Amino acid sequence: MTVLIVTFSQDNESIPLVIKEIEARGEKAFRFDTDRYPTEVKLDIYCGDTEKVIITDGENKLDLSEVSSVWYRRMRYGAKIPQTMEKQFRDASVEECRRTVRGMIASLKAFHFDKMSNVDITNHKQLQLQVARQLGLDIPRTLTSNNSEAVRQFASEFPEHGIVTKMLSSFAIYGDKNEEMVVFTSPVTEDDLNNMEGLCYCPMTFQENIPKSVELRTTIVGHHVFTAAVDSQSLSGSTYDWRKEGRNLAKNWQPYELPEDIEKKLLQLMAHFGLNYGAIDIIVTPDGRYVFLEINPVGEFFWMEVYPPNFPISSAIAEILLTGRN
């Protein structure tokens, strides 16, 4: 039994944690780093009278007919194709890599954790909020728009706590020294509302600013529900987005027991999108409301395992990968 893990070479501790659990059960895992394809890793896909797919990574070779399950994790298609290549040709090469890898994954007759189509549709944040609300979860009032007048009107509806803005994509830009600068959830100031000309070039998502008692991270793996809480308001930098102080808060998470009805609705949300795995962000307000923010179908979990609360998440992932049980 072999598990194919599709990721990239700079992925974090999540990968070795799960590989360790798979090998502890006497089974094999093969890591396919998409950023090293096609420059370092070879992929041969035969179609016709004979169907065969072979991945070759140095001395390691895998016939995908041996694969019992696949973990669709992180993609960096063709990232090591030289930046010196003319842009139109490099873009075409990266797109060809993307289509080749995704086509290979889609054609695998193995258990998928999770199916690409399910991951893709779950990534639509507006749909997430719509379904969550239909299931009875509380959500923040939200506007996505490129219309400055609509945004100003929306902001006027929240005079007490104001509004915040966020990206629907995991947006980052890179400086001269390749330093990553991520766009975190941020408050919208009066000055911002008076200078919104840039919306005509890029729509933004705006939400009511929800007061926070604690923030929750609920990681669901199959029928296992792992929830931890953190006091994101303990640091000034994480007031609006705990990820901004993610490293400093990593050891501050504590186990948290979700109300049964909230847990049930989250499991229904997972079932709606056909997911075995999901990382869910929730705000608990000072008056005890549970406000659903989003679900990430390939969200991070490693710090919940290597630091307290030391949840056995990788073990739960390995269990599903090896049993193929949804």
Residue 80 in this model has a pLDDT that exceeds 80: yes
Residue 239 in this model has a pLDDT that exceeds 90: yes
DSSP of 90-130: HHHHHHHHHHHHHHHHHH--SEEES-HHHHHHHT-HHHHHH
pLDDT score of 243: 87
pLDDT score of 169: 82
Fold adopted by 2-113 = Rossmann fold (3.40.50)
On whether the CB atoms of residues 81 and 90 are closer than 8 A, the answer is: yes
Question: What average pLDDT does this structure show over 30-38?
Answer: 97
Which tokens belong to 111? 């258990």
Q: How confident is the model at residue 214 (pLDDT cuts 50, 70, 90)?
A: very high
Q: How many CA atoms lie within 13 A of 227 on its CB side?
A: 20
Question: What average pLDDT does this structure show over 182-209?
Answer: 93
Residue 126 Cα distances to 98, 168, 186, 248, 295, angstroms? 25, 9, 19, 30, 11
Residue 181 in this model has a pLDDT that exceeds 70: no
Q: How confident is the model at residue 231 (pLDDT cuts 50, 70, 90)?
A: very high
Residue 172 in this model has a pLDDT that exceeds 80: no
On whether the CB atoms of residues 314 and 20 are closer than 8 A, the answer is: yes
pLDDT score of 50: 87
In angstroms, rounded to a whole number, what is the distance separating the alpha carbons of residues 270 and 101?
A: 26
3-state secondary structure at position 253 = coil
pLDDT digits 0-9 by tens, 240-299: 999 889 989 999 999 999 999 999 999 999 999 999 999 999 999 999 999 999 999 999
pLDDT score of 1: 87
- pTM, rounded to two decimals: 0.93
Question: Given the structure tokens 């008076």, which residue do they identify?
Answer: 194
| 55/325: higher pLDDT | 55
120-137+211-317 to CATH, choices 3.40.50.1100, 3.30.470.20, 3.40.50.2000, 3.30.70.270: 3.30.470.20
Question: What average pLDDT does this structure show over 202-213?
Answer: 96
Residue 176 in this model has a pLDDT that exceeds 80: no
Question: What average pLDDT does this structure show over 203-212?
Answer: 96
pLDDT score of 130: 98
pLDDT score of 319: 96
Element (H, E) at 163: strand 163-166
In CATH terms, are 2-113 and 120-137+211-317 the same topology?
no
On whether the CB atoms of residues 34 and 8 are closer than 8 A, the answer is: yes
Domain boundaries, the chain: 2-113, 120-137+211-317, 142-208
Instruction: Please enumerate in sequence order all residues whose Cβ is within 8 A of that of 191, keeping only pairs 6 or more positions apart, or say none.
Output: none
pLDDT score of 171: 67
Least confident of 216-225, 233-242, 285-294: 233-242
pLDDT digits 0-9 by tens, 184-196: 899 999 999 999 9
Q: Which of 71, 101, 100, 102 is nearest to 2 (CA)?
A: 71
pLDDT score of 183: 81
3-state secondary structure at position 164 = strand
pLDDT digits 0-9 by tens, 308-318: 999 999 999 99
pLDDT score of 177: 60
Handedness of CA 75, 77, 82, 84 (dihedral sign): negative
Q: How confident is the model at residue 182 (pLDDT cuts 50, 70, 90)?
A: confident
In angstroms, rounded to a whole number, what is the distance separating the alpha carbons of residues 271 and 268?
A: 5
Residue 174 in this model has a pLDDT that exceeds 60: no
In angstroms, rounded to a whole number, what is the distance separating the alpha carbons of residues 215 and 233?
A: 9
Question: What average pLDDT does this structure show over 130-149?
Answer: 98
Q: For the chain, what is the mean pLDDT?
A: 94
On whether the CB atoms of residues 147 and 200 are closer than 8 A, the answer is: no
Q: CA dihedral defined by 17, 23, 27, 32, rounded to 10 degrees?
A: 50
Which tokens belong to 257? 């027991």
Question: What average pLDDT does this structure show over 84-89?
Answer: 96
Integer distance in angstroms from the first to the last C-alpha of the chain? 18
Question: Given the structure tokens 């639509």, which residue do they identify?
Answer: 124
